[in-house]
Homo-oligomer: A and B are copies of this chain.
Amino acid sequence: MFADIKGLNEECGVFGIWGHPDAAKITYYGLHSLQHRGQEGAGIVVTDGQRLKGIRGEGLVNDVFNEKKLESLPGKSAIGHVRYGGAGKGGLENVQPLLFHSQSGSLALAQNGNLINANDLKHQLEMQGSIFQTTSDTEVLAHLIKRSGYLTFKDKMKNALSLVKGAYALILLTETELMIALDPNGLRPLSIGKIGDSYCVSSETCAFDLIGAEFVRDVEPGELIIINDEGLHAERFTLSSSNAMCTMEYVYFSRPDSDIEGINVHTARKNLGKVLAREAQIEGDVVTGVPDSSISAAIGFAETAGIPYEMGLIKNRYIGRTFIKPSQELRERGVKMKLSPVRKVVEGKRVIMVDDSIVRGTTCKRIVRMLKEAGAKEVHVCISSPPMKNPCFYGIDTSTHEELIASYHSEEEIREIIGADSLTFLSVEGMLEAIGRKGYGKNCGQCLACFTGEYPTEIYPDTLLPHEKELNSY
């Protein structure tokens, strides 16, 4: 749903649990609370200690699973995945967890993030006779593990992790272990919880609340955690690690009730709105947010600015994937879709419209026009993050500069394009302040690459090409 409104999509959410009698069902609920991270596919793999068994499918968690299917997944341990994936990225076989069987044991993998040297590695592996079944970068890891000369599974795994670069929050299931790994820069969130005696792991803490688990701790960058019947064992697989959490997780991706590194996302967003109000110093009659992700920031803005918060925009809750789009002609006649303005609220008013980010600018432009047509006297757009100028290579789907309006337009030009009476972006410093970070630069604890261009890792030119991605769609 977020994906529909923004041109900004993350690639996934992962959840796993070890040693719980309702492993498949708990994983189902866990994936549910991560549904906002991916609506294109979902899968669960369980183990009963003897074998691995999985079900996966395209669509929402509820499209893929039902009572009967969950009951056909016996076992006390499970991992699951929800997936975002554009058209060109193949179908069912790319839905995770990926599951590999062999005579020496089975292996399931689920990953959030993006391996930036996957293509290089894949090329080398194919030269040696490996056959790939998916276009997923995650499959590279499976081949690296299988081909590794090390003796123990853990050493094979560490060997493989030492070869891949990029952003990954990875969970891996065998008949006897649940393994968890986070990339050395900690670009993606990943947290450990506990429900009774069972450890679980999730991309976001909101899953713990839903299933009644308590939060234990976040996974550290460069950490490899092994959970089995003897408990949890953690170690490092790399010496050099830093902390560079994706800032957009706070601004846009994560659910308001999740905590990332101890900070509640709703609270962080409200703070972003408060700092924004302080920086913007705009006069207006009403503050309104763009549902759903900008509501917290808008409320914070309204509180600090002392301007009433009103529901100036309504999101139609029932627009699903099958919704019939109005033709151009009908659109020109005024047929609206996901969002409707509330005329009585905005008519004759100076409206401060708070949104979390501008990617291509098209949605923002449409909303501003909508508000004006509904009678708003002025529309002041306030964005609770800085201009997004650089593509992300770590799993967020804004792959080219060309798509980012702020990478080739000044703020004044953007304001003109979207037709606003004023446009204010939050400053990078203000953003860091709002989420409680003090410093700036390499050690601020955040990845700011999309705003500042400072990437926390080396950059490879060859992430999987769209052309090739398409090839495998069987």
Residues of chain A touching chain B, judged by Cβ–Cβ distance below 8 Å, are 1, 22, 25-26, 28-29, 32-33, 35-36, 39, 45, 51, 53-56, 60-63, 65-67, 70, 92-93, 99-104, 106, 122-123, 126, 129-133, 142-143, 146-147, 195-196, 206, 209-213, 255-257, 259, 264, 266-267, 270, 292, 295-296, 299, 303, 308-311, 314, 316-320, 322-324, 326, 330, 333-337, 340-345, 374, 468, 471-474
Q: Which residues of B contact A211 (CB under 8 A)?
A: 333-335
Report whether A318 and B256 are in contact in the complex, using a CB–CB cutoff of 8 Å: no
Chain A interface helix/strand/loop/mixed: mixed
Report the separation of the CA atoms of residues A295 and B472 in the bound assembly, to the nearest whole angstrom: 46
Report the separation of the CA atoms of residues A255 and B266 in the bound assembly, to the nearest whole angstrom: 25
Report whether A62 and B320 are in contact in the complex, using a CB–CB cutoff of 8 Å: yes
Report whether B51 and A471 are in contact in the complex, using a CB–CB cutoff of 8 Å: yes
Report the separation of the CA atoms of residues A259 and B347 in the bound assembly, to the nearest whole angstrom: 13
Report whether B270 and A33 are in contact in the complex, using a CB–CB cutoff of 8 Å: no
* Contacts A67-B324, A309-B309, A324-B25; A32 near B318 (Cβ below 8 A): yes
Instruction: Find A131's partner among B100, B122, B257, B335 (CB 8 Å cutoff).
Output: B100
Q: Which residues of B contact A303 (CB under 8 A)?
A: 308-309
Instruction: Find A129's partner among B130, B270, B308 (CB 8 Å cutoff).
Output: B130
* A110 to B: closest C-beta gap in Å: 13
Q: Which residues of B contact A39 (CB under 8 A)?
A: 318
Q: Which residues of B contact A196 (CB under 8 A)?
A: 333
Report whether B143 and A318 are in contact in the complex, using a CB–CB cutoff of 8 Å: no
Report the separation of the CA atoms of residues A343 and B193 in the bound assembly, to the nearest whole angstrom: 15
Report whether B33 and A330 are in contact in the complex, using a CB–CB cutoff of 8 Å: no
Report the separation of the CA atoms of residues A334 and B70 in the bound assembly, to the nearest whole angstrom: 19
7 cross-chain pairs, A with B, having the tightest CB-CB distances, nearest first: A212-B334, A264-B344, A129-B147, A257-B342, A35-B318, A133-B133, A257-B314
A sample of 19 inter-chain contacts (CB < 8 A) reads: A1-B317, A32-B323, A55-B474, A103-B126, A106-B471, A129-B130, A129-B146, A195-B333, A210-B337, A211-B335, A212-B333, A257-B340, A266-B311, A266-B345, A267-B344, A267-B345, A292-B317, A299-B310, A299-B311
* Contacts A146-B131, A326-B29; A342 near B266 (Cβ below 8 A): yes
* A75 to B: closest C-beta gap in Å: 14
Report the separation of the CA atoms of residues A93 and B99 in the bound assembly, to the nearest whole angstrom: 12
* A379 to B: closest C-beta gap in Å: 17
* Contacts A266-B310, A335-B29, A345-B266; A99 near B474 (Cβ below 8 A): yes
Instruction: Find A341's partner among B60, B133, B209, B314 (CB 8 Å cutoff).
Output: B209
Q: Which residues of B contact A374 (CB under 8 A)?
A: 209
Report whether B474 and A53 are in contact in the complex, using a CB–CB cutoff of 8 Å: yes
* A297 to B: closest C-beta gap in Å: 11
* Contacts A101-B472, A264-B344; A206 near B318 (Cβ below 8 A): no
Report the separation of the CA atoms of residues A344 and B472 in the bound assembly, to the nearest whole angstrom: 44
Copies in the complex: 4
A131-B131, A133-B133 known; 14 new pairs, CB 8 Å cut-off, are A1-B317, A26-B330, A26-B335, A28-B324, A32-B316, A39-B318, A101-B132, A102-B132, A106-B471, A195-B334, A210-B316, A210-B336, A264-B343, A296-B311
Closest to A325 in B: B67
Q: Which residues of B contact A65 (CB under 8 A)?
A: 324
Report the separation of the CA atoms of residues A242 and B104 in the bound assembly, to the nearest whole angstrom: 38
Report whether A103 and B122 are in contact in the complex, using a CB–CB cutoff of 8 Å: yes
Report the separation of the CA atoms of residues A324 and B70 in the bound assembly, to the nearest whole angstrom: 10
Report the separation of the CA atoms of residues A70 and B325 in the bound assembly, to the nearest whole angstrom: 12
* A61 to B: closest C-beta gap in Å: 7
Report whether B122 and A474 are in contact in the complex, using a CB–CB cutoff of 8 Å: no
* A349 to B: closest C-beta gap in Å: 12
Q: Which residues of B contact A54 (CB under 8 A)?
A: 474
* A351 to B: closest C-beta gap in Å: 14
Q: Which residues of B contact A322 (CB under 8 A)?
A: 62-63, 66
* A347 to B: closest C-beta gap in Å: 10
Q: Which residues of B contact A308 (CB under 8 A)?
A: 303
Report the separation of the CA atoms of residues A439 and B336 in the bound assembly, to the nearest whole angstrom: 38
Report the separation of the CA atoms of residues A472 and B270 in the bound assembly, to the nearest whole angstrom: 48
Instruction: Find A103's partner among B51, B56, B123, B319 (CB 8 Å cutoff).
Output: B123
Q: Which residues of B contact A33 (CB under 8 A)?
A: 316, 340
Q: Which residues of B contact A36 (CB under 8 A)?
A: 317-318
* A262 to B: closest C-beta gap in Å: 9
Q: Which residues of B contact A326 (CB under 8 A)?
A: 25, 29
Closest to A370 in B: B209
